[in-house]
C-alpha cells in the first residue's frame, strides 16, 4: 500500500497567483483583491486540490485540513453544484465571457473546478475518514458536541477523535490537572467514537512520530454513519415538516431561516444553504427544533 502526506504550500501559492491575475484583469484594487482571496477559500481549496491530485498516485492520502472552521467552510463550498462553484469564484465567469483571461489561466480554472469535483467525491466516498484532533481541556465535551453537529449539518460525521496532549501517570505532570485531562479520555470514548490518545511529551520533536502512530490506529476504524437524507412530511392542514437529520444536536442548537427561495440552517454559527423544494417556496418557516 502506498500512502502520501499532502503538502499544500506549493498548491496554495499557485492558486493565489491565479486568483491575483484574475483580479488584476478585472481591474480590482488591493482591498478588493484580498476580499476575492477570502471568498475563494484559498487554504481549503489548495488542500482539496492537492489531496485529489495525490489520490492518483497513492492508495492512502493523509490530509491535515487545518482548523476545523476552515474545513467546515470548505465542506460548504464542496457541497455546492458546479454552477454555484463558478459563481463563488468571482469574477471568473464574467472574465471568461469577456476573454480577459489568458488561455492558460482559463484551462487552469477549468482544472481547478474539476479537482474540486474530485475532492467532493473523495470526501463523500466510503473510504474517507474524518478525524477531529482536540486537546483534553475543560470544555472539550461541548466543543466536540458542536463540531459533530456542524459536521452533520454538512452531511458528514466524525469517524474518530485524536486526543492530543494526555499526560501519563507518574511522569512528573502536576496533579490534579493531569488527572482531569486523563478523565476526558473515558468520557469521549463513552460517545461510541474511536479515540486515539497522543501523550503529552516533554520533547516536542517526538510529536510527529506519536501523531503518525495514533493516526494509523484510528484510520483503520470503521466509518461512522452519515446523516440520513432530508425527509418531507405533509400535513392535512396544508403544512409541512422538513426533517433534517442532525444527530447529537440539541433542539435549541438549531436555527432556520430563509433567503429568497433557499432554506438556511445554522448550527453553532455554521450555516448550510439549500434551495427549497418548489412545493415549499410558498410556505413560511415557523422555526426549528
Distance CA 196, CA 94 (A): 48
Please tell me the predicted confidence (pLDDT) of residue 260.
Answer: 83
Question: Which of 33, 83, 39, 54 is closest to 275 using CA atoms?
Answer: 83
DSSP state of 254: E
Question: Which of the four pLDDT bands, split at 50, 70 and 90, describes residue 88?
Answer: very low
Question: Which of the four pLDDT bands, split at 50, 70 and 90, describes residue 91?
Answer: very low
Please tell me the predicted confidence (pLDDT) of residue 252.
Answer: 85
Residue-averaged pLDDT of the chain: 76
pLDDT tens digit sequence for 185-226 = 889 989 888 888 877 765 555 455 666 666 666 666 678 888
Q: Are 121 and 240 in contact (CB under 8 A)?
A: no
Please tell me the predicted confidence (pLDDT) of residue 263.
Answer: 85
- Give the CA distances from residue 88 to residues 78, 92, 101, 215, in Å, rounded to whole numbers and listed in that order: 11, 9, 17, 33
Q: Are 45 and 11 in contact (CB under 8 A)?
A: no
Please state, for a pLDDT cut of 70, what percent of the chain lies above it.
Answer: 72
Please tell me the predicted confidence (pLDDT) of residue 253.
Answer: 86
Question: Which of the four pLDDT bands, split at 50, 70 and 90, describes residue 92?
Answer: very low
The answer to whether residue 288 scores a pLDDT higher than 80 is: no
The answer to whether residue 85 scores a pLDDT higher than 60 is: no
Long-range contacts, stretch 97-102, CB < 8 angstroms, 24+ apart: 100/25, 100/26, 101/21, 101/22, 101/25, 102/21
pLDDT tens digit sequence for 239-283 = 888 888 888 888 888 888 888 888 888 998 888 888 888 888 887
> Where are the extended beta strands (E) located within 94-141?
131-134
pLDDT tens digit sequence for 60-82 = 666 766 677 777 777 776 665 54
Cβ neighbours, 10 Å, residue 83: 9
The answer to whether residue 183 scores a pLDDT higher than 60 is: yes
pLDDT tens digit sequence for 142-181 = 888 888 999 998 888 888 888 888 888 888 888 888 888 8
Please tell me the predicted confidence (pLDDT) of residue 280.
Answer: 82
The answer to whether residue 95 scores a pLDDT higher than 50 is: no
Please tell me the predicted confidence (pLDDT) of residue 39.
Answer: 59
pLDDT tens digit sequence for 12-62 = 788 778 777 777 776 767 766 676 666 566 667 777 777 777 777 767 666
Amino acid at each position: 500500500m502506498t500512502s502520501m502526506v499532502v503538502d499544500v504550500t506549493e498548491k496554495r501559492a499557485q492558486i493565489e497567483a491565479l486568483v491575483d491575475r484574475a483580479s488584476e484583469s478585472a481591474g480590482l484594487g488591493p482591498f478588493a483583491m484580498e476580499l476575492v482571496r477570502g471568498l475563494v477559500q484559498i487554504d481549503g481549496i489548495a488542500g482539496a486540490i492537492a489531496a485529489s491530485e495525490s489520490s492518483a498516485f497513492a492508495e492512502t492520502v493523509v490530509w491535515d485540513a487545518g482548523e476545523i472552521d476552515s474545513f467546515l467552510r470548505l465542506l460548504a463550498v464542496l457541497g455546492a453544484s458546479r454552477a454555484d462553484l463558478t459563481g463563488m469564484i468571482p469574477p471568473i465567469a464574467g472574465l471568461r465571457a469577456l476573454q480577459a483571461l489568458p488561455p492558460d489561466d482559463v484551462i487552469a480554472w477549468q482544472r481547478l473546478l474539476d479537482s474540486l469535483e474530485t475532492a467532493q467525491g473523495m470526501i463523500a466516498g466510503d473510504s474517507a475518514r474524518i478525524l477531529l484532533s482536540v486537546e483534553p481541556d475543560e470544555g472539550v465535551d461541548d466543543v466536540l458536541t458542536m463540531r459533530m453537529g456542524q459536521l452533520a449539518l454538512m452531511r458528514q460525521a466524525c469517524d474518530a477523535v485524536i486526543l492530543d496532549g494526555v499526560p501519563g501517570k507518574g511522569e512528573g505532570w502536576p496533579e490534579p490537572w493531569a488527572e482531569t485531562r486523563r478523565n476526558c479520555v473515558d468520557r469521549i470514548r463513552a460517545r461510541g467514537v474511536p479515540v486515539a490518545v497522543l501523550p503529552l511529551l516533554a520533547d516536542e520533536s517526538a510529536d510527529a512520530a506519536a501523531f503518525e502512530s495514533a493516526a494509523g490506529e484510528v484510520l483503520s476504524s470503521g466509518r461512522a454513519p452519515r446523516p440520513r437524507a432530508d425527509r418531507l412530511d405533509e400535513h392535512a392542514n396544508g403544512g409541512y415538516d422538513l426533517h433534517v437529520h442532525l444527530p447529537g444536536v440539541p433542539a435549541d442548537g438549531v436555527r432556520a431561516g430563509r433567503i429568497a427561495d433557499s432554506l438556511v440552517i445554522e448550527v453553532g454559527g455554521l450555516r448550510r444553504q439549500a434551495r427549497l423544494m418548489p412545493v415549499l417556496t410558498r410556505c413560511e418557516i415557523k422555526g426549528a427544533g
